[in-house]
Amino acid sequence: MEYTVNQLAKLSGVSGRTLRYYDQIGLLNPAKYNASGYRIYGTEEVDLLQQILFYRELEVSLEDIKDIMNQPTFDQTTALKKHYNVLKKKRDRLDKIIDTVEKTIENKEGGTTMKDQNKFEGFKEKLIDDNERKYGDEIREKYGDETVDVSNAKLRGMSQETYQAMTDLEKEIFSLLEKAVENEDPSSDIAQKLATKHKEWLMYSWPNYSKEAHAGLAEMYVADERFTAYYDKVVKGGTVFLRDAILNYLGKN
C-alpha cells in the first residue's frame, strides 16, 4: 500500500502538518515523491510512524526518537517488545491510581477506612516508573539490579510523612542550587549545605549509602545529558556546580 500525506494522516490520526514536519527534521521521510511532487509513504514508513507514536506515548522527545531510530542496531521487533513492557507498567500504574481514587472516594463517603500510606501508592509507583524509563539502564549497570530493586522497594514502603519529607527536601535542594550557583564557589557554606541536603535526599531511597557511590552518581549527572538536563532546568550550569559541590563536600567529610 502507498499513501499520500492526507491519506496517511487520516489513517494514523497524525495531522498532515505534523507529517511534513517529521519529513523536514529527518524523522520520517517519505518513500518517494510522485510525478506531481507529492510525498508518498509505503509500508515501511507506516511501521516507522507507529514506532514514533509509541515513543511519543512514552513521552520521548522527537530528538531522542530520531537518535534511537537512526542507530544501526535499531530493530523494530525489539523496540516493540520494549514498548509493550513499558506500556504494561504504565497501565499497571494507572490502575493503581484509579484504585487509589476509588478507595479515597469510599473513604470520604464513610464506606471504608484508608491508611495514609495507601493514599500515595500510585504516585510513588509513577516516580519509580519514570526513573526506570529515563535512567534505569544506566543505574542498573552501574549499581546492579539488586541495589536498584531494594531502593525501589524502600520507596514503595515509605509512609506518607516520609514520602512528603523526601519530596519537600528535593524542592529545598532546587532552591539551594539556584542560590549557590550565584556564589560560584562549590566550597562555600551554601554549596556545602546543598551537598549535605543531597546526601540526605539520597538516603531516603538508597539502601546503603557510601561516599564512593555518591561521587559516582555526581559524575554521572554531568556525563549523562538526561541528568544534566534535570538539574540545568533549575539553573544553567547547575549540574556541574552540584557535582563540584558534592565532590568538595565528600573530600572534607
Boundary residue ending a domain (158, 177, 194): 158
| Residue 97 shares a structural domain with residue 184 | no
Boundary residue ending a domain (48, 69, 90): 69
Please write the tens of the pLDDT for every residue from 64-85.
899 888 888 888 888 888 888 8
CA distances from 218 to 16, 53, 228 (A): 44, 33, 10
Query: Which residues form the domain of 186?
Result: 160-253
Boundary residue ending a domain (42, 69, 96): 69
| Residue 37 shares a structural domain with residue 61 | yes
> Mean pLDDT lowest for which of 20-29, 101-110, 139-148, 226-235?
101-110
Please write the tens of the pLDDT for every residue from 117-127.
555 566 667 77
Q: In this prediction, what percent of the chain has a pLDDT beyond 90?
A: 48
| Residue 97 shares a structural domain with residue 15 | no
Beta strands in the chain (DSSP E): 32-33, 39-40
- The pLDDT assigned to 13 comes to 92
| Residue 60 shares a structural domain with residue 135 | no
Q: Return the CATH number at 64.
A: 1.10.1660.10
Residue 240's contacts (CB-CB under 8 Å, 6 or more residues apart) are: 222
Determine the Cα–Cα distance for residues 5 and 14; give it in Å rounded to an integer.
10
| Residue 105 shares a structural domain with residue 143 | yes
